[in-house]
């Protein structure tokens, strides 16, 4: 195998998931359980029976097809697709911060039809735990999967009185929010038990958000096309993984607004412009993405990670054409890297 | 055990079919995920595959070819997904994250180049790449699994290799020697 072939093979092996998501087998078998398998072919003297009758039935078949076409359709066994579409929801910064600081990522998705505790049961059990009296009424639970993204950080999760599996495989969970008090809990979808120690606060809700968006991300749109691809490539080549939390368009003339957690991007751009006229001169739109950056190499460049292997909160500020970009520590405003020292694709 | 279960499942043994499904599901999901590059679509494709497998196993001529037959069903199910019969997108978006693997100097550059090149391939070409490089199947085996002529497999594999190698070569022309720059 050539070197290039070996690289392709290595990449595919690394990119392939090791296990199917929990519940997929059960859901698949449940869907097929109600259907009748077609029987084996029957044979006559070694010839499929259907062939022996085909000559006799050919005329009838043709007539039937014409008749059905004229009638406007034929019926066949239908396999119903999966139920609801994935929910569209923006997660609060506090929730994602909590997860990432503990090494986990979260992806919202559609709950399987079987194999898990359903949303109604989750709410009933939340009522039994009497969270509502302390946190107010819960919102409709959101189904998703948690995955250990940073193995050095992932703490084992405890569901009820037993430890749940520590992923590398995705863990199916329900996220239950309590909008009145910005609280939330995580529930193990397989057992319905609350994940111990997960109770936290959303922290960024406004009065206008309560009751409309249980995850309280007012004013922040989910990222659609976060950063210029050249910037992402440069960050990847540099050796860093960059997980995006949000994206905003920045007008340097905007008054700074609190974003919750570190410096706001307008302030950062204003301070950059003092030393570097590229950021004050007219040009393509300036975009910013806040996220977590972690070093994925055995030896991390000094200053990138607060502790070896752990993520650091940063802003990536970039012109839309990637002509200028900079990575800035979100807490201190210190420039970590910029395009002058980066390798361009 | 697989052949015995395939024989039994072909005769209508539900428990045998469930054992076969349990033994294949991780592999099926990995293949679908590689071809479709979307977890939800891969989920749907695997479900469809197993449902169709249960419906059609009574007519499987040779139980020894159960795996090949299952793979063909899976590729058809992936095709259905690509054609957009069921598409869902979550508004919350994360950058894809690799599981921890031993680091190599060129690992991230390779991954980025191959990911981009792979996404530009049609799903038919992706399937051939996955079956050859991930499952380790030969051209005749791939032709059998996909139900296409060997010449078609060769052609798709050649085109896919060229496209992926071109991406690697283009990135290799850049000097991938990151400096510390303004790290403070």
Q: How far apart are CA A93 and CA B46, in angstroms?
A: 33
Please, what is the average pLDDT of chain A? 62
Report the range of poorest mean pLDDT among A317-326, B78-87, B158-167: B78-87
A39 band by pLDDT with thresholds 50, 70 and 90 = low
Contact between residue B45 and residue B73 where contact means Cβ atoms under 8 Å apart: no
From B149's Cα to the closest Cα of chain A, the distance in A is 23
Is residue A266's pLDDT more than 90?
no
Whether residue B15 lies within 8 A of chain A, CB to CB, comes out as: no
DSSP letters of A136-193?
A: -PPPPPEEEEEEES-TTTPPPPEETTEEPP--SS-EEEEEEEETTTTEEEEEETTT-P
Q: How far apart are CA B132 and CA B146, in angstroms?
A: 12
Nearest 10 degrees: Cα torsion A23, B68, B84, A105 = 40
Chain A residues lying within 8 Å of B10, measured CB to CB: 40
pLDDT tens by residue, A178-220: 766 656 778 888 888 877 644 444 333 334 443 343 333 322 3
CB atoms within 10 A of CB A282: 4
B37 band by pLDDT with thresholds 50, 70 and 90 = confident
A37 band by pLDDT with thresholds 50, 70 and 90 = low
More confident residue, A50 or A8: A8
Best to test chain B binding among A3, A7, A344 (most B CBs inside 10 Å):
A7
Q: In what order do the strands lie in the sheet with A104-108?
A: A104-108, A142-148, A171-178, A183-188, A200-201
Stretch B30-40: mean pLDDT: 86
In this prediction, residue A336 carries a pLDDT of 76
Report the range of poorest mean pLDDT among A39-48, A67-76, A140-149, A213-222: A213-222
In this prediction, residue A246 carries a pLDDT of 46
**Cβ separation of A4 and B165 shorter than 8 Å?**
yes
Nearest to A192, CA basis, from A155, A168, A165, A160: A160
**Cβ separation of B56 and A38 shorter than 8 Å?**
yes
Lookup result for tokens 């550059």: B109
Instruction: Report the share of chain B in percent with pLDDT over 70.
Output: 74
> pTM here?
0.42
| B167 class by beta-carbon count within 10 Å (0-12 exposed, 13-18 middle, 19+ buried) | buried
Q: How far apart are CA A156 and CA A51, in angstroms?
A: 61
Chain A residues lying within 8 Å of B21, measured CB to CB: 25, 28-29
Q: What is the DSSP letter of B131?
A: I
DSSP letters of B57-106?
A: GGG-S-GGGHHHHHHHHHHHHHHHHHTTSS----SS-----PPP----TT
**Cβ separation of A237 and B181 shorter than 8 Å?**
no
Contact between residue B49 and residue B70 where contact means Cβ atoms under 8 Å apart: yes
Chain B residues lying within 8 Å of A12, measured CB to CB: 34, 129-130, 133-134
Q: A178 pairs with which residues across the strands?
A: A183
Stretch A4-12: mean pLDDT: 85
Report the range of poorest mean pLDDT among B5-9, B93-97, B139-143: B93-97
pLDDT tens by residue, A127-171: 777 666 766 777 778 888 877 766 655 666 666 655 555 555 678
CA distances from A273 to A250, A266, A283, B28, B37 (A): 13, 11, 13, 53, 40
Chain-centroid distance of CA B25 in Å reads 12
In this prediction, residue A128 carries a pLDDT of 74
Whether residue B175 lies within 8 A of chain A, CB to CB, comes out as: yes
Chain A residues lying within 8 Å of B98, measured CB to CB: 14-15, 241, 296
Report the range of poorest mean pLDDT among A1-15, A246-260, A302-316, B159-173: A246-260
Stretch A289-309: mean pLDDT: 53
Tokens encoding A305 = 């990670």
Q: Please tell me which of the candidates A7, A224, A343 has its beta carbon nearest to residue B174.
A: A343
**Cβ separation of B108 and A239 shorter than 8 Å?**
yes
Q: How far apart are CA B16 and CA B9, in angstroms?
A: 5
Instruction: Report the share of chain A in percent with pLDDT over 70.
Output: 40
Q: How far apart are CA B1 and CA B20, in angstroms?
A: 9
Is residue A175's pLDDT more than 70?
yes
Is residue B22's pLDDT more than 90?
yes
pLDDT tens by residue, A247-265: 455 544 443 443 445 677 7
Q: What is the DSSP letter of A213?
A: -
Instruction: Report the share of chain A in percent with pLDDT over 90.
Output: 0
In this prediction, residue A79 carries a pLDDT of 31
Q: How far apart are CA B59 and CA A150, in angstroms?
A: 47
Is residue A274's pLDDT more than 80?
yes
Nearest to B47, CA basis, from A121, A255, A110: A110
* E-strand stretches of A21-81: 43-44, 47-48
From B171's Cα to the closest Cα of chain A, the distance in A is 7
pLDDT tens by residue, B100-118: 333 334 455 566 677 777 8
Tokens encoding A261 = 């957690």
Is residue A103's pLDDT more than 90?
no
More confident residue, A21 or B28: B28
Q: Please tell me which of the candidates A18, A110, A237 has its beta carbon nearest to residue B108.
A: A237
DSSP letters of A250-267?
A: E-TTSPP---SSS--HHH
Its ipTM equals: 0.78
| Cα nearest neighbour of A304 on chain B | B183
CB atoms within 10 A of CB A102: 17
A229 band by pLDDT with thresholds 50, 70 and 90 = low
pLDDT tens by residue, B39-76: 778 888 899 899 888 888 887 888 888 999 999 999 98
Q: Which of residues 73-132 of B touch A (CB under 8 A)?
A: 85-86, 88-95, 97-101, 103, 108-112, 114-115, 129-130
């Amino acid at each position: 195998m050539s070197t290039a072939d070996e690289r392709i093979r290595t990449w595919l092996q690394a990119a392939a998931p090791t296990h199917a998501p929990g519940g997929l087998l059960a859901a698949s078998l449940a869907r097929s359980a109600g259907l009748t398998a077609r029987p084996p072919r029957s044979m006559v003297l070694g010839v499929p029976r259907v062939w022996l009758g085909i000559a006799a039935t050919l005329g009838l078949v043709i007539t039937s097809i014409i008749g059905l076409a004229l009638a406007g359709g034929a019926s066949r066994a239908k396999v119903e697709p999966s139920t609801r579409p994935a929910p569209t929801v923006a997660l609060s910064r506090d929730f994602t911060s909590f997860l990432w600081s503990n090494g986990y990522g979260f992806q919202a998705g559609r709950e399987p039809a079987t194999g898990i505790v359903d949303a109604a049961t989750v709410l009933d059990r939340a009522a039994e735990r009497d969270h509502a009296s302390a946190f107010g009424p819960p919102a409709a639970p959101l189904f998703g999967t948690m995955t250990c993204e940073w193995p050095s950080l992932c703490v084992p999760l405890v569901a009820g009185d037993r430890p749940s599996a520590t992923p590398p495989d995705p863990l199916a969970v329900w996220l239950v929010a309590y909008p009145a008090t910005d609280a939330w809990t995580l529930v193990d979808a397989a057992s319905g038990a609350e994940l111990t120690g997960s109770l936290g606060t959303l922290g960024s809700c406004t009065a206008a958000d309560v009751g409309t968006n249980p995850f309280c991300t007012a004013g922040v749109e989910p990222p659609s096309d976060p950063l210029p691809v050249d910037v992402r490539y440069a960050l990847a080549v540099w050796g860093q993984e960059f997980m995006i939390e949000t994206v905003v368009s920045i007008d340097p003339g905007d008054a700074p607004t609190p974003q919750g957690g570190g410096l706001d991007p307008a302030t950062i751009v204003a301070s950059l412009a003092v030393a570097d006229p590229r950021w004050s001169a007219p040009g393509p739109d300036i975009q910013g993405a806040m996220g977590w950056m972690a070093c994925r190499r055995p030896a991390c460049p000094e200053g990138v990670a607060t502790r070896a292997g752990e993520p650091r909160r940063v802003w990536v500020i970039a012109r839309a054409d990637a002509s200028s970009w900079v990575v800035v520590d979100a807490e201190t405003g210190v420039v970590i890297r910029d395009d002058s020292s980066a390798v361009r694709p | 055990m697989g052949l015995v279960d395939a024989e039994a499942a072909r005769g209508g043994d539900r428990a045998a079919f469930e054992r076969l499904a349990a033994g294949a599901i991780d592999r099926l999901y990995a293949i679908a995920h590689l071809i479709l590059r979307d977890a939800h679509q891969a989920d749907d494709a695997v479900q469809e595959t197993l449902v169709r497998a249960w419906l059609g196993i009574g007519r499987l001529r040779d139980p020894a070819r159960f795996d090949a037959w299952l793979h063909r069903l899976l590729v058809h199910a992936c095709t259905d997904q690509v054609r957009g019969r069921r598409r869902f997108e979550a508004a919350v978006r994360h950058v894809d994250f690799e599981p921890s693997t031993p680091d190599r100097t060129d690992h991230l550059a390779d991954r980025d180049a191959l990911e981009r090149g792979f996404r530009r391939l049609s799903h038919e070409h992706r399937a051939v790449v996955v079956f050859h490089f991930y499952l380790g199947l030969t051209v005749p085996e791939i032709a059998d699994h996909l139900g296409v002529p060997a010449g078609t497999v060769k052609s798709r594999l050649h085109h896919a290799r060229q496209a992926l190698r071109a991406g690697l070569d283009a990135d290799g022309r850049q000097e991938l020697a990151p400096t510390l720059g303004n790290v403070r």
